[in-house]
Amino acid sequence: MIGFGGTSIVGLDIGTSAVRAAVVTGARGSAALQSFGQVPLPVGAVMDGEIQDPGPVSEAVAELWKRVKIKSKKVVIGIANQRVVVRQVDLPFQEEKEFRAALRFQVSDFIPMPVETAEIDFQILDDYVSETGEHMMRVLLVAAATDMVESFISAASAGGVEPVGIDLAAFAVARSVSAAARGDAGLAGAEAVVDIGAGVTNIMVHDNGEPRFVRILLTGGDDATRALAEALDMPLEEAEATKLDLGRGVGAPQAQQALSARVDELVEEIRSSLEYYLSQPESQPFSSLLVTGGGSLTPGLSEGLERSMNLPVRRSAPLADMNISKSGLTEEQVAQVEPVAAVALGLAMGASQR
C-alpha cells in the first residue's frame, strides 16, 4: 500500500494566502492524516489562482518541507483559475482508447483555448442511445493552459519537491469533504460543494461522485476585506482584523454594513452559478450544500447562502472521520486548519488511490 517507506504522495495546495501540504494514508473509513502543514504567502505571490511571483512560492514550499518534515518529495498540485476549464460534452460513442488517440482533434471545438497550448484530460461519464437512435457518450473534459500548469510545476520544483501530478482543486475538495463524492455513502440527488478561499471560489456539483458541474469564480474572503478597507479607509491588515472582529460580534455598524453589502454580492455570485447548473435540463435538485475554505467563515456568508438557496448549508469537516494521531496536530490545531485544509487533503487522498 502507498504510504510506507516515504513513497506516499503529498497533496500540495498553492493558495492565495498560503501553501499547504498534506499526507493521507488509507482509504474509506480508515483514512489517516500523517502530516499537515502550511506556510503563509506574501500578498501578490498568487493572484486569481495563478502564480504571479514564483520566488516566494518556491521559498514557502521549501520552508514547508523543512517545518513539517515530510519524507516524500512527490507532490500532486491543485489548480483553480480562469485558465483551466471543465466542460461536459456529448459525442458519438467511441472506445476510450480511440477517443484518447484523437483527443485534441475531437475536442478543439469545445475548449476556449488553442488545443496545442493546452493540457487535456477527460473522463467518460456515461453512454446512452439518443432519441435518433445514435450511440452517444457523455464526456467530462478538463483543459488547462500548458504554460500555467508549467508555472506551478516549476515553482514547486524550485522549492525542492517533485511534481508527479496535477488535479483540479474542485475535485480534490469534493473528495475530502464529501463521503458521497468518494463513493463511501449514497445521496439522493446532487450535492453542491463550495470552497470559498481568499481569492478563488470553487463550485462543484456532483452526483454520488460523478462530477456534473464545475465553476471557478475569482472571488473570495479577500473581497470582503477589501470592501471593508475601502469603506472604512483603512489598510488591509486592519480591515482583516476588523472582519474577524465582526465575526465575534464586535464592530461599528458602519463596518457591519460595508461587510454585509459585499457578502450579499458574494452570495449572489455563488447563487447564480448554482442556479445555472439547476437551469440545465438534466440537473437534479440539491440534496445538500457543503461549504469549506477560509472565506466561508466570512460573517454572514453561509447564512446568506442558506437563505438565498433555501437549502441547509453545512460546514464541512474533512478531518472528522480521519485518524489524526500520527499528524501530531492538537485538537485546537485541527479546529484551526480544518476550514482551509480541504484542497491539500483531497489531493493527497486522490493520489493515494492511484
Residues making contact with ligand ATP (CB under 6 A): 15-18, 49, 197-200, 220-222, 225, 240, 243-244, 247, 293-295, 297-298, 340
**Residue 176 binding target from ligand ATP, Mg ion, none, CB below 5 to 8 Å by type:** none
Quote the least distance from Cβ 293 to ligand ATP, whole Å. Answer: 4
Minimum separation from the CB atom of position 198 to ligand ATP (A) = 4
Q: Return the residues of window 1-20 that contact Mg ion according to CB under 5 A.
A: 15
Among Mg ion, ligand ATP, none, residue 221 binds (CB under 5-8 Å by kind) = ligand ATP
Give residues with Cβ within 8 angstroms of 281, minimum separation 6. Answer: none
Neighbours of 286 (CB within 10 A): 18
Give the DSSP letter of residue 93: -
> Per CB under 5 A, does 318 bind Mg ion?
no
Grid cell locating 255: 463596518
Q: Quick one: 209 or 293, whose CB is closer to ligand ATP?
A: 293
Answer for the pair 140, 130: CB distance below 8 angstroms, yes or no.
no
Residues in 190-209 at the binding interface with Mg ion, rule: CB under 5 A: 197
**Residue of 184, 163, 188, 187 lying closest to 175 (CA atoms):** 184
For ligand ATP, which is the closer residue by CB, 81 or 178?
81
CB of 203 to Mg ion, least distance (A): 13
Burial class (CB in 10 A: 0-12, 13-18, 19+), 135: exposed
Minimum CB distance to ligand ATP, residue 167 (Å): 14
How far apart CA 318 and CA 124 sit, in angstroms, is 27
Give how far Cα 337 sits from Cα of 21, 26, 28, 140, 181, Å: 11, 21, 21, 32, 21
Give dist(CA 297, CA 314) in Å, integer: 12
Residue showing the smallest CB distance to Mg ion in the complex: 197
Euclidean distance between CA atoms 177 and 81, whole angstroms: 20
Return the number of the residue (145 or 246) whose C-beta is nearest ligand ATP: 246
Nearest distance, CB of residue 169 and ligand ATP, angstroms: 7
CB of 285 to ligand ATP, least distance (A): 28
Instruction: Give the one entry of ligand ATP, Mg ion, none that residue 49 binds, where binding means its C-beta sits below a cut-off of 5 to 8 angstroms depending on kind.
Output: ligand ATP
DSSP code, position 322: S
